[in-house]
Amino acid sequence: MTDATTQIKETVTSNDVVLFMKGTKTMPQCGFSSRVAGVLNYMGVEFTDVNVLADDGIRQGIKDYSDWPTIPQLYVKGEFVGGCDIITEMTLSGELDTLFEQNGVAYDKDAAEKIREANG
């Protein structure tokens, strides 16, 4: 395993929720990263953000690690969940709530409902 792979594995296994993104949760550098970070922030989910723009090894490494070609990438309890489109769909369908509940991840149910109402 490369250093990047080791670092990625350590990050996703030692944090409940990890978002590999362009930029940071407070300053996203792309619309897709901003959307996923925005959903997590709005739902009050505690998550670790990893800025792939800060490290080329991580930027390529995460794509190899998940076998997923795009950023952002969301991990919950060490498992790859998906990118922007998948997270958006899961948020609107309520699947994301279920995933968080099954994994003991705290989130604001009312905020999740508001997102669904606004996009319903």
Q: Which helix (H) or strand (E) holds 108?
A: none
What distance in Å separates the CA atoms of residue 117 and residue 44, rounded to the nearest whole number? 17
30 is in an annotated binding site: yes
Closest of 12, 36, 16, 14 to residue 25, by C-alpha: 36
Q: Residues forming the annotated binding site?
A: 30
Binding region for [2Fe-2S] cluster: 30
